Structure 1
């Protein structure tokens, strides 16, 4: 899971998995941003516009709401400035989500058949 320790959304995701005894590994993007290849995987799957945190101070501060950007320009901004990411970015095997998506997480756990209990290996 990619997120920020001080982010309410990230804390909500961590709590969701902890309550279900699923171990997760948190990569704090404030300390270590996602590798460009990892971020490109998320962008390829969801699109840059879905990953842009339009409620962030940085987004508003840079006036990005008033700019017209295509997906490639948005992707470049996200790669250059991880603080613009909508967090958390959660990956579990081949599954992935952007932001708090409890329905997707619930579906992943059901599809997994409960094998992701407390003894499950953590996946970033």
Structure 2
């Protein structure tokens, strides 16, 4: 297993995901979205695994202006705008190869073991 957790240290669900993997002795790589962010390739792979970028959007994000702008952009521009504004992404994103989840999903992670 090659687990990557994308999130921030302030996110409660990110901490929950880290704790879940630690308790099971599963090694993971933590990527802080505030410090580094996702590369374009990582973003595209996660979108593919989740069936589209729409499932990544955090409707409760603080940046309401960009969230509104995202809704009114042309469909071909929306994914690019979300990639540019990663503070709008729900956390955590947990990747295992080509599989990915968004949010806290221990029921899915158990199937990866």
Using structure 2 for the length normalisation, give the TM-score.
Answer: 0.83
Does structure 1 conserve the Cα–Cα contact (< 8 Å) formed by 2:37 and 2:86? yes
Matched ranges for 1:1-124 at <5 A:
1-46=5-50, 47-58=52-63, 60-62=64-66, 64=68, 67-69=71-73, 71-109=75-113
Does structure 1 conserve the Cα–Cα contact (< 8 Å) formed by 2:6 and 2:30? yes
Gaps of 5+ in 1: 110-124
> How many residues align structurally?
108
Q: Distance in 2 between matches of 1:53 and 1:104?
A: 20
SS at match of 2:28: coil
Gaps of 5+ in 2: none
CA shift digits 1:73-122 (9 cap, x unpaired): 3311221111111111111133211121111101112xxxxxxxxxxxxx
Using structure 1 for the length normalisation, give the TM-score.
Answer: 0.76
Q: Greater CA radius of gyration, 1 or 2?
A: 1
Structure having the larger proportion of residues in strand: 2
CA RMSD of aligned residues (A): 2.0
